[in-house]
Structures are given as C-alpha cells and as structure tokens.
Amino acid sequence: MRRTLAACVAMLLAVFAFTVAASTAAAGMIHSNGHGGGPWSDPDTWHGGKVPGEADDAVIAMRDAVTFDLDHRNKVTCNNLYLDPEGVLGFKTGPGDFVITVAGTIESYGVIKVDATRSAGLREIHMRAEKQDAVLQLLQGGAMLIYGRESAATDERNVWIRAVTTETRLPAKLIYIRANDEAMVDLHHIGLDNVAVDLEAIDNTNAVTTERLNFIGGLWINQSRLQLRNCDTPGIRSNTFIATDPVAAPAIRLVGCKLSEIVGNRITGAYDAGIETESDTDSSATSNLIVGCNRGIVWRGTNMMIRHSVIRDCATGLTSSDSTGVVENVTVHGAKFAFSLASSIQLTNCNVVDMPEGGAAMSLDNCTVTLLNCNIADDVIQLGKRLPAGNWVETMSYLMVRVSGNVPDNAVVHVETAKVSGGVPGGGKADLNVRNTPAPIDRRGFTPLPQSSKPLAVKSWAIGRDGKRVNAPFYDLMVKAPDEPGKPFKTLKSLEQIEPSEAWFRTNPDALDPTLEVTLP
C-alpha cells in the first residue's frame, strides 16, 4: 500500500515524540517546586511530589533554595544537577554528615553554598568520575561559596569536593570545575580530592560585584590542582597541595593573570611544577614551601616578586625567563640547578644548600643577574651560549659595621673605593661601587640592618661578558664625626684596602653579627 508524503512525515513525528517521551519518562527531569524550595528529602520540595532518584536529573528552579539533608556517600543522589539563575543548593546545618553524590554533571547559573564553619559533621559533594572526567560548570552568574571549619591539622577538613568511583581496581578520574567570566568562586578551608580547578577571566578586585576568586586554607590531594587564566587579583593563600602519585601539571598554574597573590602555600609531591606562571603581570609569590616537585617555581611574567620561600628536593629550583623583578630570601635545597635564569633580575639574600655533585647553583642564558648577599660562588655558575649585553653577573655584599669605644652621637661610617682600585670618581660623580654611604651609627654602635632598606653595601666580584671573573674592588672605611654640630666631619679612625670575601655572606641578614668591628679610643 502506498503512503502519501504527509502520512510518512506524520508517522515519523509520532515515532519521534514517543521516543522522546519514553526517554524523558525513563530518565526523568524533576524540578523544585518554584515556591521557595525546601529540604531535598521532602517530596513537597519537588514538582510531582517525587524526590529525585539516581536516574533523574534534578533542577533547582529560579529563586528556590534547596537544602541537602541526606548522607548519600554510598548512593547516587541524582544523575545530573542543574541550578537555574538565583537557584541555591545549600547544606543542612547542625550535627550529622550530609553528602550529595551526582552521577553526571553539575551545571549552575545559581549558587552552591556551604557554610560549615561551625558544623561538627561532614559536608561533601561527590561526583562519579569512572570512565571519564566529571564536570562542574559555573555559567554566567554561577557561584560556589564554600566555607569549612578552620583547623590546625594539615589533613583535617569538614567540607570536601571528591571525585569517586565504584571501580575499586581503578582510581577515580578528575572533577573539572570550570567557569569563565561573571562567576564567584570562594573556597575557604575545604578539601579537594582529584579536583582540577580551571577558571578564566574572573575579576577579584571588587570592581565587578558579581565576581570573586579566592582559594584559602584548602587541602588539595591526589591529582588536584589549580589553573587560572586571564584572572585579576586572585587570592591563593595558605593552601596545602599533596600529590601521592605523579601529576603531569603544576600544582598552581597562572596564565595571563595580574596582581596574583600566592602566599603561604605548601606544595609537596611529584607535581610537574610547584608554581608556574605564564605572561603574568605584577604577581607575587611569598612564603611558599615546595618539596619534591620536578620543578620548583617557573616564572614567566613582568614585575615579579618572589620572596621568603623554600624549594626543597626539586630537580630545578627557580626558573625564570621573559621576566623582570626581584627574588628575595629564597633558599633552594638539593636542586641540580638551583636558579635557571634567562632574564635580568636581582637576587637578594638567596641561599643554595646541598647542591648535588655536577650541579650548578645558577644557570644563565643571555642575561645579567645581580646578586646581593647570596652564597653563590663564581665556580658554580653555568653560562649559556647567548651572551648578555653587559656582564653576566654583578655581586654585592652587605657591610655591617659595629663601632665601639668613645662614639660621638653624630658619628657615621663612610666607605669609598680605595685608590688601588680606581678610587672615587672625580667631578662630583657618585662612587657606584658603594650604596648608602655615609651610614649612621645607632645607640648600639651598629650601621643600619638590611631590613632598614638603607644598609651599607659594596660591589664584590663579577663575571664579565667574556666569562672571566673580575675580582672585587678594595675599599677604605672611615669613622667620621664633626667636632661640633654644623662643622666639617673629621676622620676618627680608618681601615684601608678592605676586600669583600665569601665570609661576608649573611645567612640571617638582620642578625646583630657585624662584618667588621672598629674600636674608637
């Protein structure tokens, strides 16, 4: 029997409608009630009076707030979870453990909010990541505001985001938390287990009221790591990263960000790098500890500031290229290449400890590096093939003087280049070999400590563009004071042809341990 075209189309549409209806009925998409929400376990919270099951997709409707009040750590709560704009998923307060487990994805235009700062029990978000990675996507206006209880214990957190699997023979894959533009991510004192956070274009300056970006006091374990791209002023503070197995990515990676604050983090385990930046601007890393990574810190960005940090048992300590800025008070233990630099920067109070045989305290390529109070000798510096415009290395040493005896109140220490090393330039030109002279003497008899920002410092040895060492100049030191206020200064005592040496290195720059002592009659 022949059918008309219209009849065939009608039949196909009917089959399609039946298939969609059957699929929807099987999978189920259950919306919250649209009247303000309620507890997750209450049928009245959901349209149709049915609490979502493991095969259902749960939707928290606009302006509904649904409070999760179940412990589903060993049970799937729903298949996928969707939050409409202004929808809120919260967790029950008070005693007890409340764990939601999502088999598929989470997509949110709304707010995922956990405040467990005073809770005794656990609050956890589990996502099944078995055959493939799971995704938690924050869309425009989406937010994750999650606050755990602050604890002194490194491994103790009462709020977690975990990737889980029923395949006991295989580890879980990852949860990827993603967002770009107009999102809030504010995570304080929570645990992340196999979670990779990958966020883009979020502003944390308060200039955009709908955006926030902070990671504070978190515990990141297994394959967990953080990547931010083109973000402004992110706060990354006091986190602990622990990789028990190799991770083919940095623990913290920033690309194209600015004014990032990476402060007080502890990173241990076989990450590809502890901290890596690419094209960052005006970012800083302070008081971080990095242990056992392949690379400690890798920095490519302008106006960097790396301070008060320790890198231990990494193949390379600090690698920097295409950068400007300073590195202060950084100690590298046990690295084959402690500082690998291809950009002209200044290192101040840096220390290399337990360098293995055949290693280099510093590897340089096409750059001039200034070392102020660093324990790096010229024979452990490796020079590249691309020559710098000037010297390879310029070094300086603090010169802290203690003056004892009959010291006048207005006495100073004056240091200048000795005549045997060329003397002081004529014509009123400054002596470029010496900084901060004359130096005042305090009531204890000391010239200013480095922390004063005006310590006496003198040029020491250098490595010329030809790769050869240039020895330090000799200096003359004079203690001077006027007979009366307003009168010319007279020399009370002098030391001639002083030569800086490796013994001048100050492990603790601000210790009251003088480089030289002068006693006045």
pLDDT of residue 135: 98
Kindly report the backbone phi and psi dihedral angles of residue 472, in degrees, each rounded to the nearest multiple of 5, phi listed first. -65, 150
Give yes or no for residue 63 having a pLDDT over 70. Answer: yes
pLDDT 10s digits, 102-144: 999 999 999 999 999 998 899 999 999 988 999 999 999 999 9
Which tens digits make up the pLDDT trace of 307-362?
999 999 999 999 999 888 999 999 999 999 999 999 999 999 999 999 999 999 99
For the beta carbon of residue 252, count every other beta carbon within 10 angstroms.
29
- Give the range among 102-111, 202-211, 455-464 with minimum mean pLDDT: 202-211
Please report which confidence band the pLDDT of residue 5 belongs to, taking 50, 70 and 90 as the band edges: very low
User: Does residue 250 have a cis peptide bond before it, meaning omega lies within 30 degrees of 0?
Assistant: no
Give percent above pLDDT 70 in the chain.
Answer: 94
Q: How far is CA 335 from the centre of its chain?
A: 20
Average pLDDT over residues 136-154: 92
pLDDT value, residue 107: 98
Q: Evaluate if residue 245 carries a pLDDT over 50.
A: yes
Is pLDDT above 70 for 2? no
Give the confidence band of 27 by pLDDT, cuts at 50, 70, 90. Answer: low
Q: CB-side exposure of 244: number of CA atoms within 13 Å?
A: 6
Q: Which residues contact 465 (CB under 8 A, 6 or more apart)?
A: 387, 388, 390, 391, 392
d(CA 260, CA 202): 12
The structural domains of the chain, with segments of one domain joined by +, span 26-238, 262-389, 407-460+475-520
Q: Which residue has the higher pLDDT, 5 or 410?
A: 410
The rounded Cα 324 to chain-centroid distance in angstroms is 18
Confidence bin at 287 (pLDDT 50/70/90): very high
State how far the Cα of 516 lies from the Cα of 50, in Å rounded to an integer. 83
- Kindly report the pTM of this predicted structure: 0.90
Average pLDDT score over residue span 362-390: 95
**Residue 498: its pLDDT value, please?**
97
